[in-house]
Amino acid sequence: MRVLSFRLAILGILLTFAPACAVAGEISYLNDVMAVFSKAGCNQGVCHGNKFGKGGFRLSLRGQDPRFDYLSLSRNLSGRRVNVQNPAESLLLLKPTMEVAHEGGRRFDVDSVEYKILLQWLEANMPFDSDHAERLTGLTVTPQEKIVVGDVDEIQLTVLAQFSNGTSRDVTRLAVYEPVNQNVTVSIGGLVQREDFGETWVNVRYLDQQFAVRLAFISRQNGDNWKATNPHNYVDEHVFAKLKQLRLNPTPLCSDEVFLRRSYLDLLGLLPTSVEAQRFISDHRPDKRARLIEELLDRNEFADFWALKWSDLLRNEEKTLDRKGVENFHAWIRRAFALNMPLDQFVRELIVARGSTYENPPANFYRGLRDPITRAESSAQLFLGIRLQCAKCHNHPFDRWTQDDYYGWANLFAQVNYKTVDNTRKDRLDKNEFIGEQIVFMSSKGHVKHAVTGQPAPSRFLGAADRSIDEKDDRLLQLSAWIVSPENRQFARAQVNRIWYQLIGRGIVEPIDDFRVTNPPSNPKLLDALTDDFIASGYDVKCMIRTIINSHVYQAALPTAPGTAMELENFARPVIRRLTAEQILDAISQVAGKPVAFNGFPMGMRASQLPGVRAIRPRDKQLSLGDQFLLTFGKPQRMQTCECERSNETTLSQTLQMVSGPLMNQLLAADENRLDELLQSKRSPAEIINDVFWSTLTRSPTAEEMAAILSKVSGDLTRETLEDLLWALLNSNEFLLRH
């Protein structure tokens, strides 16, 4: 830190005598030279912007510290990289043009704009801009969005930079263009060329300003084959409008059987029983789907399943919270969803929580987040959909967040403190284990030091620099009031995107907790409409779920042909995904008619009702078969504040569990399970087979399926045949996938 301060002091002296560069026609170090470094890629992390630099030459990442770069360029190593006496002989020009060997290769040519800017700046004796020089304030890219159909394979982007003196100029040549996929390539001058049909966006960057341009090249083969589809609500209106632009048709409505299964799994985490399913199918009222949604939203299992989702996000696990804390916290979360607590109130109570982790369950939110940095990063990601982590070491390279934002936000959580009443942890070598009551309280002192200045960082809200914070008042009370206020639309945007993801399988912004300028929503108007509705409803989660599930988009059928990326990104068709660990296990248990045992819990508790990860840890007792199954199928350990911790990927271990695992064998072969009940029901083989299909796949068997099964039956169904049938259905994709 002393070295840095000394260097900055020297730089200040040097700049005092450096000629100012703020008049028209002259080259600006801040606005032109720094732009050349970015355009040529010199200050990227893979080059001189690396933490350790390259070849002894280091620049700040993406030019976040121009003064440091000036000192490094003009004075480091006795200024050997520049030659003001003979500018054309400067290494600053010779290396990027490959006149001298350069590990980074050729970055620009001698007759290029970049070369001329650097040469003119060197000839002017390397001036640094005065304090009154114009500063970049904004960026305008034209077009901001464009969809072209047919043989058009080029789109020219134009970039205008706005400055603090009210002027603007064309910086198309010096802007950096970063396409997000291989559908397009972009030339130095901003000409976008199609490589393949499809939708993409190009991140345009000039100095510290960024903008994402959404583009789509549509094949003429798509033609004008848009088929008008009646929207159910505003969700469909916005989705269909975008699909019409892209010449994509939404799929028709799904069958009643598919809708029934889908809505049960998404709202309750369960399959409908055979009786429930056949009762719904036999109902011929036109509004039966809307009626079913209301019925499911009022069931106890809804609170169980959605409490599971939020327990994952809030790190509700036994290692840091202990078992009593986990159970109390889970009960509070479940009660909130059972009572349909407005989400702004839910989050406000979490943020301001303090007191006993046993008596005031929301206080457990801070028990699992042990330091201001973890609290800050987790809260930003969970409540605002902002990933701040990159700004810890440098200004965020893909977003607007600076290190000042990062440490100012972290300082809001610096006064949270703990008092451990008693810690009876069993593993004395594991300092992260806590067993016993803790008291969360706000101390009168506490601050986070800025990593660069070493000084306490002034508290600040993210994206609200104009909002002052009273450091002497309770910071968390101020934070809770701001974060859920209607003026802070980012909270509502992040939460409706999360709900959309949980029901649809893909976020409007994807990943769902990565809102940034360079990661725009696939349908901005849809996201804005949902956000407006959510705020107007008083942050009513059930109201938002009801709106989405009643839409055609949610109720769309799955086509037989594979979907394209553009169809999935724009919700033209459903997303196929594997059922979660809890959904699969609860479904198998329900179909088999036998409960699954979990260590430390009474028999009969479903996987979706478990408060934490594991009540009894492996060192105390071998994992139960139920616990092993959940672990194999991706139940998260709840060590991260992220949906991404849960894995729905398929593995060989999962296949072995389903095909020949001990739990499957135990449930199917158990005495007095549902198979015995069916065999003793005195029903015909066809009726029993039909019941098994409804229980597992939520449909009746086709004529071909029924004939094939009955061909294997001579006389009455045997227990062995019925076990084989159920085993086959449970191992089918139709059972294991949500479609």
Q: Answer yes or no: is pLDDT of 255 > 90.
A: yes
Name the 3-class secondary structure at 144: coil
Structure tokens at 142: 């034209």
Q: Quick one: pLDDT at residue 592?
A: 94
* Mean pLDDT of all residues in 665-671: 89
Give the pLDDT of residue 302: 98
Domain ranges of the chain: 31-124, 136-218, 231-252+489-556+564-575, 342-484
> How much of the chain, in percent, has pLDDT values that exceed 70?
94
Rounded to an integer, what distance in angstroms lies between the CA atom of residue 435 and that of residue 692? 45
Q: What pLDDT sits at residue 220?
A: 73
pLDDT per position as a tens digit, 141-184: 999 999 998 888 899 999 999 999 999 999 999 999 999 888 99
The answer, yes or no, to whether the previous bond of 511 is cis (omega within 30 of 0) is yes
Across the chain, mean pLDDT equals: 90
Quick one: pLDDT at residue 79? Answer: 67
467-504 per-position pLDDT tens digit: 889 888 999 999 999 999 988 999 999 999 999 999 99
Question: Residue 468: what pLDDT?
Answer: 84
Alpha-carbon distances of 371 from 145, 275, 378, 411, 483, rounded to whole Å: 42, 51, 11, 11, 20
pTM: 0.90
CB 93 within 8 A of CB 34: no
Contact 336, 326 (CB under 8 A): no
Is the predicted pLDDT of residue 4 greater than 80, yes or no? no
Predicted local confidence at residue 62, as pLDDT: 86
The band of 224, judged by pLDDT with boundaries at 50, 70 and 90, is low
For the residues 430-450, what does the mean pLDDT come to? 85
Angle value at C-alpha 372, between 366 and 376, nearest 5 degrees: 85
Mean pLDDT of 671-680: 88
Query: What integer pLDDT is reported at residue 605 of this predicted model?
Result: 95
| Amino acid of residue 297 | L
Indicate the pLDDT class of residue 1, thresholds 50, 70 and 90: very low
For 31, which DSSP code? I
Q: Label residue 607 left, alpha or beta by phi (over 0 means left) and psi (-120 to 50 means alpha).
A: alpha
- Residue 2 predicted with pLDDT over 50: no
Spatial CA neighbour of 200 closest among 222, 223, 217 = 217
Torsion angle of C-alpha atoms 595, 598, 601, 603, degrees rounded to 10: 20
Supply the DSSP symbol for 76. G
pLDDT at residue 671, rounded to an integer: 83
Q: Give residue 429's pLDDT.
A: 65
pLDDT at 448 over 90: yes
Q: Which two tokens stand for residue 480?
A: 């809770």
Q: Would you state the pLDDT for residue 20?
A: 35
Average pLDDT over residues 427-433: 68
Q: How far apart are CA 634 and CA 562, in angstroms?
A: 26
CATH class of domain segment(s) 136-218 = mainly beta
**What percent of the chain is helix, strand and coil (3-state, nearest 5)?**
45, 10, 45
Interacting residues of 311 by C-beta distance below 8 A, sequence separation 6+: 329, 330, 333, 611, 612, 638
Q: How confident is the model at residue 133 (pLDDT cuts 50, 70, 90)?
A: confident
Sign of CA dihedral 697, 703, 708, 709: positive
Query: Residue 664 in 3-state DSSP?
Result: helix
Integer Cα distance of 130 and 29 in angstroms: 10
**pLDDT tens, position by position, 609-638:** 999 998 887 666 788 999 999 999 999 999
Q: Give the pLDDT confidence score for residue 396 in this predicted structure.
A: 83
According to the model, what pLDDT value does residue 5 have? 43
The CA distance from 168 to 333, in Å, is 52
Residue 233's pLDDT is: 96
Instruction: Report H helices in 269-395.
Output: 274-281, 288-297, 300-313, 318-338, 343-351, 364-367, 372-383
- Residue 555 and residue 504: Cα distance in Å, rounded? 10
Q: Averaged over 85-111, what is the pLDDT?
A: 90
Instruction: Count the neighbouring beta carbons within 10 Å of the beta carbon of residue 512.
Output: 21
Q: Are strands 154-156 and 176-179 parallel, antiparallel or unpaired?
A: unpaired
| Integer Cα distance of 261 and 271 in angstroms | 6
> Which pLDDT band, with edges at 50, 70 and 90, does 543 fall under?
very high
pLDDT at 631: 94
* Residue with tokens 């893979």, as numbered in its chain: 46
User: CA 636 from chain center: how many Å?
Assistant: 16
Lowest average pLDDT, out of 219-223, 239-243, 422-426, 717-721, goes to 219-223
